[in-house]
């Protein structure tokens, strides 16, 4: 599907015996000529989603949502919501 883009990234960090992997995977879907949906999940167990809408020429509105699943079972997760207006 030409409207769908996916990406996976991974990096090994560390020069000593202590090394850490970081990774993330994401997807972007072009809903129509003015709307884009994006989602990402990473090693820190964070899920992020956003929808961007072109309202007028040069004016974009983005609604983003994120949830941190690090300690979801013990109910110490965090949730975030953001609205961005770009003109």
* Cβ atoms of residues 28 and 4 within 8 Å: yes
pLDDT digits (tens, 9 = 90+) for 44-87: 889 999 999 999 999 999 999 999 888 777 777 788 999 999 99
Q: How far apart are CA 66 and CA 62, in angstroms?
A: 13
> What does the pLDDT average to over 27-43?
95
Q: How many domains does the chain have?
A: 1
Q: Which domain holds residue 35?
A: 4-86
Whether the full predicted model's pTM is greater than 0.85, yes or no, is: no
pLDDT digits (tens, 9 = 90+) for 10-26: 888 776 777 778 889 99
């Amino acid at each position: 599907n030409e409207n769908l883009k996916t990406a996976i990234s991974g990096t090994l960090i560390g020069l000593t015996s202590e090394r850490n992997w970081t990774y993330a995977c994401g997807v972007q879907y072009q809903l129509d000529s003015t709307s884009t949906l994006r989602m990402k999940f990473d090693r820190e167990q964070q899920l992020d989603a956003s929808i961007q809408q072109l309202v007028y020429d040069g004016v974009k509105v983005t609604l983003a949502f994120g949830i941190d699943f690090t300690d979801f079972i013990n109910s110490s997760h965090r949730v975030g919501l953001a609205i961005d207006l770009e003109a």
